[in-house]
Structure 1
């Protein structure tokens, strides 16, 4: 019976090449599956009273009185946190009645970010991610340096000779861009080297290797969140003056702290040539 059914399906495809199958349920592995799953989960969360963040569609928040529950969704990995343990437990129980869940555990590893709890707070780092990158680039046993980038020589599009493996350069810079999610200390260097992806040279590659050597000595660096830190918001911002020798465009950067922990940072070139040293 199985072979007959299969032959019938093959015959149908051959005789009706323009027909399509309409699925009543998304199949795991298809390109549409993650989107279908997200829409199903989103609809359920909104029905429960959650609000979808406008800044990040993977974040949902539920407010009731003075309590709040946050949930972060990445395909089938979900982080749940909030101000009330009973609300968190109730939400997980409600979610388990609608979807099949694995046993909830304490947050330890999520999308390459390690979360380590201590009596003083929560430490977020990407040590395992860095080690994998160092092994992949044969930089694990390299000598560490104290800074991610050297002041001299100043890099430009014409610095050095063309690098013989631009794909490798782009792979490393792409990995470093993801690493900068928890490492504001490499944000400027990564942004600078990312400007040469279309035409990397041997000097650009040496600068990229310097960042890797810096990471060798700072494997455990990251962000430390303290529960008793004051909720004071303060920021630092600066810009260089025509720092790019190729187009004379300035680079500006900012770093925002909530208490003692950095919560937002950026380093990027300005959109046009500035007429003063004031950051834009």
Structure 2
């Protein structure tokens, strides 16, 4: 069961258990069954016999429209591999509103796109005083998303419950204060 304010997703592999659970909830709360999941909090859900695929192509299209980049030329990666953004790289933007709006939207977008998480985290570090180079990096993430808008998260119906863990650090990679950025990820299920 996933609850967000007054929206609920109930799923499982036993329809009888799901029905009993919904009946139990409906004795305490007013419920409206909207049928099979297809759209939830901006996430598009496509179900097949082999699993569930969640994307946010409409959200990406809206974001590209907001940034005036609907015809952006796609790039293969969300950030240049040798990128070394710092607080002082570039000239400060006169109005940071658009930068903050787009990066905030990208933070929300990264929930179903872990491939942009590092880039978005890096760009979020400059919200207080973004520069022209930071804005160029934001536009690169948008160009990446324009070419990969149909990608998302796939949950297989035949998942093997195995645990995988990954971790990495850049060891004093921040050129402003020499702090390290580290990250970790745990996956319960098959990696395909």
Match of 1:244 in 2: 174
Q: Does 1:197 align with 2:127?
A: yes
After superposition, the C-alpha distances for 1:120-143 in whole angstroms (9 at most, x for unaligned) are: 111011111111111111111110
> Which of 16, 40, 65 is the equivalent residue of 1:86?
16
Q: Does 1:228 align with 2:158?
A: yes
Match of 2:71 in 1: 141
Match of 2:118 in 1: 188
Report 1 or 2 for greater relative contact order, CA contacts < 8 Å, sequence distance ≥ 6. Answer: 2
With the length of structure 1 as denominator, give the TM-score of the two structures: 0.65
With the length of structure 2 as denominator, give the TM-score of the two structures: 0.93
Q: Does 1:171 align with 2:104?
A: no
- Structure 1 unaligned spans of 5+: 1-70, 263-280
Match of 2:184 in 1: 254
Separation in 1, partners of 2:28, 2:172: 57
Match of 2:26 in 1: 96
Match of 1:8 in 2: none
> Which of 78, 81, 90 is the equivalent residue of 1:160?
90
Separation in 1, partners of 2:171, 2:72: 34
After superposition, the C-alpha distances for 1:85-137 in whole angstroms (9 at most, x for unaligned) are: 11211222333344333234111111111111112111011111111111111
- Residue 261 of structure 1: how far off its partner (Å): 5.1
Separation in 2, partners of 1:174, 1:261: 29
Separation in 2, partners of 1:153, 1:91: 50
- Structure 2 unaligned spans of 5+: none
**3-state SS of 1:257 partner:** strand
Separation in 2, partners of 1:216, 1:154: 23
**3-state SS of 1:117 partner:** strand
Q: Does 1:126 align with 2:56?
A: yes
- Residue 153 of structure 1: how far off its partner (Å): 4.5
- Residue 258 of structure 1: how far off its partner (Å): 2.0
**3-state SS of 1:81 partner:** coil
8 Å Cα contact 2:49/2:157 also seen in 1: no
- Residue 229 of structure 1: how far off its partner (Å): 2.4
**3-state SS of 1:91 partner:** helix
8 Å Cα contact 2:92/2:132 also seen in 1: yes
Paired residues for 1:6-155 under 5 Å: 71-155=1-85
The structure having more radius of gyration, on CA atoms, is 1
